[in-house]
Structure 1
């Protein structure tokens, strides 16, 4: 598989899709803030109906696998996912 890049907005969209699916809500109702810390790694905070959801790196990868399955029409379990903090693009995911 050729390497693909999922840019920051779509990483956030992936979180919206995952949280909405779990809560049986619409992805547009979810607000997401992505973050990176040297100690904790990649994280996301998602708010839905006043309730906060905190995602660690593993849950971000889970969200990206759902995104890959639904929007890229690729095998999400065969995809290698690497999160990266890019100086220009922000938080991106490299898919191999």
Structure 2
């Protein structure tokens, strides 16, 4: 994220396709628990900072990074942060 191209702030629905390409499932309806504050919410409600190189998915309650989708030359990668658990 650079000064020339600031990140857009959107909700978790914006990364549905990116995660679908990596995991093969739509995770926006799943509930994620933040390891930092214990907040449990649908991933569609997360705050996402989005630009050309990454999508940083943050807990809406405490802003810790739950996970990041990195766009690399080879293939997109999912890097987990403070996401303690996912449930239906």
> Normalization by structure 1: what TM-score?
0.34
Q: Which has the higher strand share?
A: 2
Q: Which has the higher contact order (CA 8 A, sep 6+)?
A: 1
